Amino acid sequence: MSTTISISPMTRVEGHLDIEVTVDTDGAVQQVIDAKAAGQMFRGFERILVGRDPRDAVQLTQRICGVCPVSHGMASSLALDAAYAVTPAENGRIVRNLTLGANFIQSHILHFYHLAAPDYINTDGILDMSPWRPHLSSPDMVTGSAAAALVGNYVAALSMRRKAHQMGSIFAGHMPIAMNFVPGGATKPVTAADITAFRALLAELRSFISNVMLADGEALLSLFNDYTQIGTGCGNLLAYGVFDLTSAGTSKLLARGRYTNGALGTVDTTQIREYVSHAWYTANSGNRTPAAGVTEPAADKDGAYSWIKAPRYAGAVHEVGPLARMWVNGDYRYGISAMDRIVARALEAEKVANAMDGWLSQLVPGGPVYTHKATPSSGTGVGLTEAPRGALGHWAQIGSSRLTQYQIVSPTGWNASPMDDSGQHGAIEQALIGTPVRDLKNPIELLRVVHSFDPCLSCSVHLVRPGKKAEICRVDVAAGV
């Protein structure tokens, strides 16, 4: 008999996420045979933005997500650079990259140690208090001195991610929200003292990433090598690319591209469409490109179970994130799995941090950071960048010097999307299907697969709670002590 496992709330993600899977025995292995991922919160950002001064989007969209706000600031600024027809000053381009890089490092450390690692460490006898207790248990979890060492690094990582924000704040004014992004560049004059202070913190972070975080990543890879075969998912990868190395954006630290059905390819944004057959929107909202996006709620729609639209590239499901970026860029081609996502994320942190040191040397103290251009009466722009957790796009239209249309396609939209019009499951759903579940009361395998994507539900903009689903034989996660 099949069994339904419902996990609500899923913790150690950003935002409100529900996971529901059906487990059955197939080929003598108890495993997930069906999966649904759905979020539970809706704010309506795209509607809030319409009618406002375009420049306000840079600040307002950062409040979509407090874990990756700088990526929204970057996407919004790039979209408005295009709509304003302005080329950012070189210092401005570099300062934007350094600010975004600081948050990439912060987010990757936070995810690795504080959101994902607890799925692999048994903290009993080490951290015997909330919020670490109670926790799910599994015999394969790291114990003893190895667990204590990881907990020690968990603690060290708390101060490291704080320092990453401190570093970003030198240019940004404050973090997590960055104040220094504007169309045309950045806001703070560059000084030699700021470069020196930034570089000192960066050196400390580079040392931690290379010597501690990568070592812990390798240890997890070795101890949990079975997770290179678990959570493999759709196998298609998409990256918009990030960290423009020229103001035209033609060269990036992490390139734009995709990997579809085993072949590398280029990205043409007109091939992106959002589908809504299983999302609570009218048929009129579906099968549209983001530039022509429409968001009309239909809360009672039959067959829908999520308020995330389902973005697809040329009709195909793609996953996004550090693994997609590193794969497309040729930096990581070992495999696509739960563990590969974790390892690729750690390696990407090192790559970005090392590059940032070079960018600091390119800054010109006292040089312009901003190119002025008045708000145009009309214009359109697309801002394609990456959040730490994957490809992020903003599509803006200006009329009468106000925003007339604003659409956001977020990374967790790609990863946590529901089924599309062709009945294809979203990326996280596909990664869950086939995942073995040893103990129905302690389904730690599900947590490891879901957390490997670093979901960020607030970014998924359209989300609202799913409808009540049919119960087969529902079991809840062990009720704990």
State which of positions 90-149 bind another protein (CB under 8 A).
92, 110, 114-115, 118, 123, 125-136, 145, 148-149
Task: Tell me the window of 165-173, 328-336, 345-353, 357-365 that interacts with another protein (CB under 8 A).
Answer: 165-173
37, 98, 160, 185: which one binds another protein (CB under 8 A):
185
Distance in angstroms (rounded) separating the CA atoms of residues 162 and 156: 10
Enumerate residues 409-448 that contact another protein by CB under 8 A. 447
For residue 134, cis peptide bond before it (omega within 30 degrees of 0): yes
* Amino acid occupying residue 181: F
Task: Tell me the window of 11-19, 207-215, 223-231, 417-425 that interacts with another protein (CB under 8 A).
Answer: 11-19
80, 116, 172, 328: which one binds another protein (CB under 8 A):
172
Going residue by residue from 74 to 93, which x/- string records binding to another protein, judged by CB under 8 A?
---------------x--x-
Burial string for 22-41 (b: 16+ CB within 10 Å, else e) reads bbeeeeeeebbbbbbbbbbe
Task: Tell me the window of 24-32, 175-183, 283-291, 415-423 that interacts with another protein (CB under 8 A).
Answer: 175-183
Nearer to another protein, 198 or 313 (CB): 198
Nearer to another protein, 15 or 101 (CB): 15
Distance in angstroms (rounded) separating the CA atoms of residues 436 and 127: 28
Distance in angstroms (rounded) separating the CA atoms of residues 68 and 75: 11
> 163 phi and psi, to 5 degrees?
-65, -30
Instruction: Work out whether 182 is an interface residue with another protein (CB under 8 A).
Output: yes
Nearer to another protein, 235 or 297 (CB): 297
Residues 6+ apart with CB under 8 A from 349: 104, 105, 108, 109, 112, 209, 213
Residues that bind another protein (rule: CB under 8 A) add up to a total of 97
Enumerate residues 371-410 that contact another protein by CB under 8 A. 372
Q: Nearest approach, Cβ of 295 to another protein (angstroms)?
A: 10
3-state secondary structure of 311: strand
- N-term to C-term CA, the chain: 28
Q: Nearest approach, Cβ of 159 to another protein (angstroms)?
A: 7
Residues 6+ apart with CB under 8 A from 95: 171, 180, 185, 186, 188, 190, 363, 369
Q: Nearest approach, Cβ of 327 to another protein (angstroms)?
A: 28
Task: Tell me the window of 4-12, 327-335, 349-357, 424-432 that interacts with another protein (CB under 8 A).
Answer: 4-12
7, 82, 355, 360: which one binds another protein (CB under 8 A):
7
Q: Which residues, listed in sequence order, are joined to residue 279 by a DSSP beta bridge? A: 306
Radius of gyration of the chain (CA): 22
Distance in angstroms (rounded) separating the CA atoms of residues 353 and 355: 5
Nearer to another protein, 62 or 236 (CB): 62
**How far is residue 98 from each of residues 71, 135, 191, 199, measured CA to CA in Å?**
12, 37, 14, 11
Distance in angstroms (rounded) separating the CA atoms of residues 320 and 196: 34
Q: Which residues, listed in sequence order, are joined to residue 316 by a DSSP beta bridge? A: 313
Q: Nearest approach, Cβ of 49 to another protein (angstroms)?
A: 9
Please answer whether residues 323 and 342 qualify as being in contact, where contact means their C-beta atoms are separated by less than 8 angstroms. Answer: no
Enumerate residues 346-375 that contact another protein by CB under 8 A. 368-370, 372
Please answer whether residues 178 and 69 qualify as being in contact, where contact means their C-beta atoms are separated by less than 8 angstroms. Answer: yes
Nearer to another protein, 171 or 259 (CB): 171
**Matching residue, tokens 């997590």:** 176
Instruction: Work out whether 11 is an interface residue with another protein (CB under 8 A).
Output: yes
Residue from 249, 255, 289, 283 nearest 269 by CA: 289
Instruction: Work out whether 67 is an interface residue with another protein (CB under 8 A).
Output: yes
166, 210, 247, 404: which one binds another protein (CB under 8 A):
166
36, 96, 108, 188: which one binds another protein (CB under 8 A):
188
26, 139, 189, 218: which one binds another protein (CB under 8 A):
189
Six-digit token string for 150: 């990881």
Q: Nearest approach, Cβ of 460 to another protein (angstroms)?
A: 12
Enumerate residues 34-53 that contact another protein by CB under 8 A. 40-44, 47-48, 52-53
Nearer to another protein, 52 or 333 (CB): 52
Enumerate residues 226-255 that contact another protein by CB under 8 A. none
H/E segment holding residue 310: strand 310-313
Nearer to another protein, 97 or 424 (CB): 97
Task: Tell me the window of 1-9, 23-31, 277-285, 380-388 that interacts with another protein (CB under 8 A).
Answer: 1-9
Distance in angstroms (rounded) separating the CA atoms of residues 111 and 455: 10
